[in-house]
Amino acid sequence: MDPAPNPPGVAVSVRDLRLALPLGGDRPNAVDGVSFDLMAGEILCIVGESGSGKSMCAHALMGLLPKAVTVASGSIRLGDTDLLAQDAAGWRDTRGRRIAMVFQEPMTALNPLMRIGDQMAEMFEAHGLLTPPERRARAVALAREVGLPDPEGIVRSYPHQLSGGQRQRAMIAMALALEPAILVADEPTTALDVTTQAQILKLIRDLQRRRNMAVLFITHDFGVVTDIADRVLVLRQGRVVEEGPAAALLGAPREAYTQALLAAVPAMNPPARTPTEGPKTIEVAGLSKTYVTGGGWWRKPRTVAAARDVSFALRRGETLGLVGESGSGKSSVARLVMRLIEPDLGSVRLGDTELTRLNGEALRRARSRIQMVFQDPFASLNPRRTVGQIITDGPVAHGVSLSDARGRAVRLLGLVGLDMRAFERFPHEFSGGQRQRIGIARALALEPEVLVADEAVSALDVSVQAQVLALLEDLKVRFGLSMLFITHDLRVAAQICDRIAVMRRGEIVELKTAADLFANPEHPYTRDLLAAVPGRAREAA
Amino acid sequence: MAGFIAQRLAKGVLVLAAIVVLNFFLIRLAPGDPALVMAGEAGATDEIFVTQLRTKFALDKPLPSQLAAYLGSIATLDLGYSVRQQMPVATLIGERLPATLLLTGCAFLISIVLGVLLGALAAGRAGTLADTAITGLALLFYATPLFWVSLMAIIVFSVRLEWLPSFGFETVGAGYSGFARAADIAQHLVLPALTLGLFFMAVYVRMTRASMLEVSRLDFVKTARAKGLTEGVIQRRHILRNALLPVVTLAGLQAGTLVGGAVLTETVFAWPGIGRLMYDALLQRDYNLLLGVFVVSSAMVLIFNLVTDVVYRMVDPRIEVAR
């Protein structure tokens, strides 16, 4: 071990870090010989796709690696200590006081049974600092510093009473409590809506400047990198691909891999599209749905409008995007269109049939005409059925003979770019992108007229995302499908949609062609959404 | 909160009334005629005597009017008169209830305290020898029939070792009073309370352990570690507290059986409790007494369900108590 302390300006220096995975994995090391310096007062972004080892690097800094992952070699030097050489007590002293961490999921990263203020106070308690009343006072001050509304009230609330953005602010406040020199942020904005994401990114930026902290920021999103990074490190399969100042690396990447990643990021300017003039496949008129929760003998129920007077038409061969933030009602509208939930008011016409009036057998038959591709490629396929069974089940249920269904399934597997041998295998043997292809083949097996894609590419890495989007586009043209494309990602919507409907609180606030929407957003909310999309600076340049 | 409790109590009364009506018809469905049983025990098969018995206890009236009369008396908190024991039902139950509550209450405490403690211990040392020993023991108690454990306990601790009395509530005829009597009852209590408690303890051990292991994988535990908290604080404050939620649910269910759930144990240890009273009443077609026990135990279940919901609301701020 090199006993020399870090040179001035270097907050943390990672040297030749090698993290071993348990035997039998797809590779021996999660992180394989990674070295980098985190400078005081800078934000270093580690970027990579899933499985690149970026999150492992972050956790290694905190000594919070999963039990199965072991440090094979290397050093992490903070001041004059090698973090990897310290004992459990040493780690406890480091965590929170010298290095603090903010996690990805603000929904689950806070203890649901403890008040926010108590969880902040724990930070001081863990290191034996201050008296309980002082800790409470500091918690309020911290809540104020991260811009939480009503700091005195919010420290007494429980996590479930806060929004996602507020919880992440609380997490950041907690991390800053002991004024650590280093903040590790592991995808801190991935689970947030774009407008909230923009606010949190600004908050991290401001706090970092004010306190002159070093921030290690882990993300998969190049838009976020553009907005926040001083320096960038690109990881692939546990190895450093490229490292450099943000402007230089994003402007002129040297390595082919970085170039490919950047090229896969969907652009904000929609490609020119010819308007479709086909017949209307789906016509939705005055659709409303209100959820009522709670309410009892003496209590007023809480109502949430999932859809308010939603009307639109979807033409043959057209892709209509439904975009909005979480809770805007876009998924509810998709479910209403498929009649997976019953509307309170309004009608859905599918071609010449009134879908909202059908029942029993007629509804069951009509269902095959609209099919859905789901968000989560891991949860949406039955793990105990082979891919072949998953694809043929639908047609067989609708009366297609097994041999015909099989033939169709094999053809579809080819069309979505999978090997015929996939037929006999189980979903867990495939990657996320491949599973999404299986999901698409499953939907197409019923020869639908309409494909409803609910955040169908949101869980995928950018490069895979680009491939699946291209596949959807190709299949749409080939089968003359109409597509209802639900997404929170405006970049994705720009690339695949002919027209886009922006939703807020159950209402469509603006509906026009993609090109027009991005060029001339009229509604203030649409403008806010567009302004919040990360990484716009790179495109403007 | 007060509104919620009042509302639940009002609903509880309705549920109780429904239970009474149901039970009333249910026990009338069972074959057997109380008048005939009584006449048989008196050694008489005389038709006139049987008719007299029927008239005396209003068994000759149509069922609906019997029901109306019964509901009316229940509404005034009068549980009726046991024709077999020649005593008011309320008195009979009142005599037996303390013994049962003492037994089941102690068993309840033993099972929860030991169960959660051992479960937490096992979860904290998951995969080690201690963990295997604890879960193995729990499985043993869970899988072994209660009466067998009771009998074995009697053989070992009463017959062989002569440490503890094998049956009864207290030493009959010893004439203890005050402290000495309490000590005597406590000695008698040990074996039945332990055997009854060990079964539920096994359930709590397994549940606490599984629940803690599940919670320990959640994100907020990592957050707690990232603060630099010690492992003990993390286990107690963050993992155990969250893991106790399902245990509370189970404890609520078990609390509901506090009155009527110890028939087996009471029989083996000759414990003078409600369970044996109920069993005897069943064999003797003592309708009023049987219904009385049903009403009291149903009321207990309703009350403990309410208590569970209130406790749940206190330990989990996310819950808006179900209406």
Residues of B in contact with A295 (CB under 8 A): 323
Residues of B in contact with A95 (CB under 8 A): 225-228
Say what the pLDDT of residue A2 is: 47
Say which residues have a Cβ less than 8 Å from residue B156's Cβ, sequence separation at least 6. none
Q: Convert A272-304 to b/e letters by CB count within 10 Å (16 or more is b).
A: eeeeeeeeebbbbeebbbebeeeeeeeeeeeee
Q: Which residues contact A149 (CB under 8 A, 6 or more apart)?
A: A166
Question: What residues of B are in contact with residue A123 (Cβ under 8 Å)?
Answer: 227
Q: Do B228 and A127 touch (CB under 8 A)?
A: yes
Query: Of A95 and B168, which is predicted with more confidence?
Result: A95
pLDDT of residue B323: 39
The tens digit of pLDDT for each residue in A24-57 reads: 777 888 899 899 999 988 999 999 888 888 989 9
Q: How many whole angstroms separate alpha carbon B189 and alpha carbon A396?
A: 65
CB–CB of A160/A112 below 8 Å? yes
DSSP SS3 for A535: coil
SS3 B148: helix
- B-chain CB neighbours of A92 within 8 Å are 228-230
Partner A contacted by B217 (CB < 8 A): no
Integer angstrom CA distances of residue B248 from A110, A361, B79, B208, B257: 22, 45, 32, 10, 15
CA dist., res. A13 & res. A34, Å (int): 11
Mean pLDDT, chain A, rounded, equals 88
> How far is Cα A17 from Cα A82, in angstroms, rounded to an integer?
12
Structure tokens, A103: 């996690």
Query: Residue B296 CB: number of other CB atoms within 10 A?
Result: 20
**Element holding A94 (H helix, E strand):** helix A88-94
Alpha carbons B56 and B114: distance in angstroms, whole number:
52
Chains A–B, number of C-beta pairs less than 8 Å apart = 81
Q: Quote the pTM value.
A: 0.80
What's the token pair of residue A365?
């038959």
**Residue A278 scores a pLDDT above 50:** yes
Cα distances (angstroms) measured from residue A248 to each of A42, A179, A232, A240, A349: 16, 31, 9, 17, 53
CA distance A83 to chain B (A): 14
A268 vs B1, more confident: A268
- Measure the N-to-C terminal CA separation of chain A; round to a whole number of Å: 45
Return the number of other C-beta atoms located less than 10 Å from residue B202's C-beta: 24
Q: Nearest Cβ partner of A108 from B218, B228, B230?
A: B218
Residues of A in contact with B318 (CB under 8 A): 112, 158, 160
Supply the pLDDT for residue B322: 43
Chain-chain contact of A122 with B224 (C-beta, under 8 angstroms)? yes
Element (H, E) at A46: strand A43-47
Instruction: Give the chain A residue nearest B227 (alpha carbons).
Output: A96
- Give ipTM to 2 decimals: 0.79
The pLDDT score that the predictor gives to residue B321 is 46
The pLDDT tens digits of the residues spanning B189-226 come to 888 888 888 888 899 999 999 999 999 988 999 999 99
CA distance B320 to chain A (A): 9
Q: Is the dihedral of CA B138, B144, B146, B152 positive or negative?
A: negative
Selected for mutation to probe chain B from A99, A107, A111 (highest B CB count within 10 Å) is: A111
Contact B229 A126 (CB under 8 A): yes
C-alpha distances in angstroms, B127 versus A107, A379, B212, B246, B304? 30, 29, 14, 22, 36
Q: Choose, out of B7, B215, B227, the residue to mutate when testing the contact with A (most A CBs < 10 Å).
A: B227
pLDDT tens track for A312-342: 999 998 999 999 888 888 888 998 998 888 8
Task: List the one residue out of A386, A467, A383 whose CA is nearest residue A422.
Answer: A386
- Is A124 touching B (CB cutoff 8 A)? no
Residue B316 structure tokens: 């989990």
Q: Is pLDDT at B37 greater than 70 in this prediction?
A: no
A248: left (phi over 0), alpha (psi -120 to 50) or beta: alpha
Tokens representing A209? 């400047």
Q: How far is B125 from chain A (nearest CA, A)?
A: 14
Q: Which residues pair with B321 in a beta bridge?
A: none
Indicate the pLDDT class of residue B57, thresholds 50, 70 and 90: low
Nearest-10 Cα torsion for B221, A187, A64, A206: -90
Can you read off the two tokens belonging to residue A130? 């201050």
Closest Cα in chain A, distance from residue B231 (Å): 10
Candidate from A179-193, A302-316, B276-290 with smallest mean pLDDT: B276-290
Strand locations in chain B (E): 81-82, 87-88
